[in-house]
Structure 1
Amino acid sequence: MTARWPSWRTDLVISLVSFLGGLVLYAAGGWRMFLGASLWSGVPHWVLLVPLAVMAGCCLLRRVAPGTGEAIGLVALAADTLLGGSLGTALIFTQVVYDACVYGRPWLWRANLIGSVAASVLAAAVGVVAAGDWRGVVLGLVVALVAVLPTLTGISVRQYRDQARVQRLRAEQTARLAAWERRQAVADERARMARELHDVVANQLSAIAIHATAVLSAPDPSPQLVRQAVEQIRQSSVSGLAEMRQMIGLLREDGGSDDPATRPGLASLPQLVAQARADGLAVDLHTAGLDRVLPVSVDFAAHRIVRESLTNAWKHGTGAVVLNVDVDGDRVLIETDNALRPDAASTGSGHGLIGMRERAALLDGTLTAGAEDGRWRLRASLPVRHTEEAGV
């Protein structure tokens, strides 16, 4: 709409309509309404059209220079008053004052308010003195109608526009914040899916790679060794595909991911250990308190950490690994310990450790892992009471 009808056209229309309205009032006898006669005798009444035209021209400055327009309008009003005063010029001046309060600088409407009130009081006093009667106060009322009333109207409109502008800015900020939160949620969801994908795929692929490397490294592998390795590779592949389908199913369901029956937990710890032993990792398991019912988030995170810790013990360590899973009233403690592999520094990408630390941090827990005194050690502590109180 603004492109179709520019603001300058609106100002031009207001100026022309004001001037034409003043001409109509002039033709109807609305001139020399205040003093009744000109201070200069012999001046023709059509001279009043000059301040009328100037006042109408001030409307063209309502947006670009409202202060200048009001100053010119004051001069035109003063000249009109000295010539006897016309109704049309006074009415157009109210528009000029209104525009100055709406479009001018903040100090301008304050100056208008103070000046118009002072002028009204002064005019009332002058009217009483000049008339010698209290009825002379009507002169102050006329000044109030011409100056104070449009000033108050302009201030109200300006405050309304300022409030609307503030609300619009707040709405834009809220929209930007909502967009940022959506992007952050998408990024968090991608990170979570990447972590789940790593936990599901990397463990099984690591087992496949180890068995394949063992067969290829053998100088003259026997058919029994090849068959055993192929069986382990097949078992790891089938297990990985099953877990992949389960993860995809959970991602497709709405609200189904919080069902304990569909999410693995410490109840499957024997199967994890059996799988690790079948893959060739000797595991010495020690457990306590596994009969306790854990929050779903803690149970799921503990399962993932145990699984990834066994994979890391396989990658970074050698020989038998001691796995300790202890559940008490305050926390779930997971510890692994085995001898450090000589070439462990160049093994793995580190995503598994990052994922485990993120899981522990989400539950306000801690996780440390690394080489220590020639051994590979991992220790994770997941609080239980905090998650129970939070309803997780």
Structure 2
Amino acid sequence: MTARDAVGALVLLLVLAVPQVVAPERYASTVASAVALVVACTGLVWRRAHPSVAVGVALAAMVGSAAIDADSSLAFAPGLVATYSVAAYAGRREAACATLAMIVAYPAVLVLVGGKDPFGSYVVLVVILIVLAAALGAAVGAQRAVVAAARDRAVRAEESREAEAARRVTQERLRIARELHDVVAHHAAVISVQAGAAEALFDKRPDLAREAIGHARDAGERVLSEMSSLLHLLRDADEPGASASAPGLADLPGLLDEARSTGLEVVERTVGVPRSLSPVLDLTVFRVVQEALTNAHRYGTGRAELSVVHGADSVVVEVVNPLPSRTAVGSEGAAGQKRASGASGPVAAHGSGLGLVGLRERVAAVGGTVETGSREGSWIVRVSLPVPAATADRPARAGTTDAVRPATQEAP
């Protein structure tokens, strides 16, 4: 029951009752028809909440009035409204049963009790009006269902857009976190080592201390430069500076020189002929080597072996560094090399493990695989990156051959 339905029922009652009161001699209504009108209009109070109740009340009033006076039709108008309501607001089966009851019961009373001609215009008109009321209600109900479905789809689409936007924001945050870690962690480690060396050599070997300070300064300048490039990469594509080049294979020699300047002995081995890689894949190779060498310096024994293998449809990067004896013994109990499924191993034991997490995410983004683990006293990071066929046959970009020499060779 709603206030709107109550007001509507009262208005209909007044519209039908006032003429009977003003000109009773013209309409010649009986007490029974007046009571039937009031009862039928009362049932309309529930026409939306309980449409079947409204139909039942209206039909009872119509049948009772017709049984007493077949010519009285005051309750017929509320009955049509109830029929419309049950077709518009109830289920299909409920509406069909209610409409059928109206079509059968009321005309039957008119014919059997009131003596009306079953094929006369009066009975036929009653049936037609009941059918039209039910059809109009069904059409309105169908339109309402279509509108509700469209509104529901719009709500779901909006929720889906919001979820997609949240997912993209999360992915962007992870991407920024990976870039910041890769840019800052490596150079911060270099600065820390060089600053410590400068402090230790300041009194006895000022020349070497000055050299260490120079390396620290260079590392600081490089991190500032890479931070600037990172900010450019995070810009929209339409903004100036968005196409600033990111580091890649061509920059590996500089990365290795920087690692060696910290005291890390790096043995480089390149197999196969380098080819031009996509910017994302090129950056991934660089970051993998950078992260692996940083961890090798921080947690290893001061030596690392880097292997870059250019296959027909992949690039495989492997960094192997000996573990300190204590760490090696503790790690040999594991079942050898294992696929990384979390921040594990000696790196995670001493650090936050975020570097390996970011490395796995970065490699997974380009469809590659990561394997980390200890084997024979060494920590191994092995990354396999697929090279699309469209780029596999392209020659190396300018500068790449300087960074990674073709054929199989080693550089101490």
Q: What TM-score bracket applies, with the shorter chain setting the length?
A: 0.7 to 0.9
- Identify unmatched segments of 5+ residues in structure 1: 1-6, 33-43
Alpha-carbon distance between aligned partners in 2 of 1:258 and 1:223, rounded to the nearest angstrom: 41
1:304 matched to 2:324 = no
Residue number in structure 1 paired with 2:95: 109
Cα distance, 1:64–1:352 mapped onto 2, change above 3 Å: closer
Quick check: 2:202–2:209 contact (8 Å CA) kept in 1?
no
Query: What is the CA-CA distance between 1:176 and the residue it aligns to?
Result: 1.3
Instruction: Give the 3-state SS of the residue equivalent to 1:262 in structure 2.
Output: coil
Alpha-carbon distance between aligned partners in 2 of 1:217 and 1:370, rounded to the nearest angstrom: 34
**CA deviation profile, 1:200-252 (whole Å, cap 9, x unmatched):** 00000011122233445679653223222211211111111111111112212
Letter in 1 for 2:147: A
Residue number in structure 1 paired with 2:30: 45
Instruction: Give the 3-state SS of the residue equivalent to 1:337 in structure 2.
Output: strand
Instruction: Give the 3-state SS of the residue equivalent to 2:275 in structure 1.
Output: coil
Instruction: Give the 3-state SS of the residue equivalent to 1:252 in structure 2.
Output: coil
Query: What is the CA-CA distance between 1:130 and the residue it aligns to?
Result: 6.8
1:166 matched to 2:169 = no
The equivalences for 1:1-392 within 5 A come to: 8-23=2-17, 26=20, 27=23, 31=27, 45-82=30-67, 83-104=69-90, 107-118=93-104, 131=117, 136-216=119-199, 221-254=204-237, 262-289=245-272, 291-342=274-325, 345=346, 346-385=349-388
Residue number in structure 2 paired with 1:40: none
Alpha-carbon distance between aligned partners in 1 of 2:33 and 2:99, rounded to the nearest angstrom: 28
Cα distance, 1:243–1:28 mapped onto 2, change above 3 Å: farther
Where relative contact order (Cα < 8 A, 6+ residues apart) is larger, the structure is 2
Residue number in structure 2 paired with 1:3: none
Query: What is the CA-CA distance between 1:302 and the residue it aligns to?
Result: 0.8
Query: What is the CA-CA distance between 1:85 and the residue it aligns to?
Result: 3.0
Cα distance, 1:146–1:337 mapped onto 2, change above 3 Å: same
Quick check: 2:296–2:303 contact (8 Å CA) kept in 1?
no
Quick check: 2:368–2:386 contact (8 Å CA) kept in 1?
yes
Name the TM-score, length of structure 1 as normaliser.
0.82
**CA deviation profile, 1:174-215 (whole Å, cap 9, x unmatched):** 211111111111111001000000000000001112223344
Quick check: 2:59–2:102 contact (8 Å CA) kept in 1?
no
Instruction: Give the 3-state SS of the residue equivalent to 1:364 in structure 2.
Output: coil
Cα distance, 1:263–1:187 mapped onto 2, change above 3 Å: same
Instruction: Give the 3-state SS of the residue equivalent to 2:301 in structure 1.
Output: strand
Alpha-carbon distance between aligned partners in 2 of 1:301 and 1:162, rounded to the nearest angstrom: 52
Cα distance, 1:130–1:85 mapped onto 2, change above 3 Å: closer
Identity, % of aligned positions: 30
**CA deviation profile, 1:97-144 (whole Å, cap 9, x unmatched):** 2223333455421312333454589689979x975xxx8253542332
- Name the stretch that deviates more: 173-182 or 116-125: 116-125
Quick check: 2:268–2:306 contact (8 Å CA) kept in 1?
yes
Instruction: Give the 3-state SS of the residue equivalent to 1:88 in structure 2.
Output: coil
Cα distance, 1:181–1:11 mapped onto 2, change above 3 Å: same
Instruction: Give the 3-state SS of the residue equivalent to 2:40 in structure 1.
Output: helix
Quick check: 1:119–1:143 contact (8 Å CA) kept in 2?
no
Quick check: 1:332–1:381 contact (8 Å CA) kept in 2?
yes
Residue number in structure 2 paired with 1:41: none
Cα distance, 1:90–1:217 mapped onto 2, change above 3 Å: same
Alpha-carbon distance between aligned partners in 2 of 1:258 and 1:125, rounded to the nearest angstrom: 89
Cα distance, 1:29–1:316 mapped onto 2, change above 3 Å: farther
Alpha-carbon distance between aligned partners in 2 of 1:380 and 1:255, rounded to the nearest angstrom: 33
- Name the stretch that deviates more: 172-181 or 336-345: 336-345
Aligned residues: 368
Query: What is the CA-CA distance between 1:77 and the residue it aligns to?
Result: 0.5
Higher helix share: 1
Cα distance, 1:171–1:221 mapped onto 2, change above 3 Å: farther
Alpha-carbon distance between aligned partners in 1 of 2:153 and 2:387, rounded to the nearest angstrom: 41
Name the TM-score, length of structure 2 as normaliser.
0.79
Instruction: Give the 3-state SS of the residue equivalent to 1:183 in structure 2.
Output: helix
Alpha-carbon distance between aligned partners in 1 of 2:299 and 2:277, rounded to the nearest angstrom: 30
Cα distance, 1:13–1:287 mapped onto 2, change above 3 Å: same
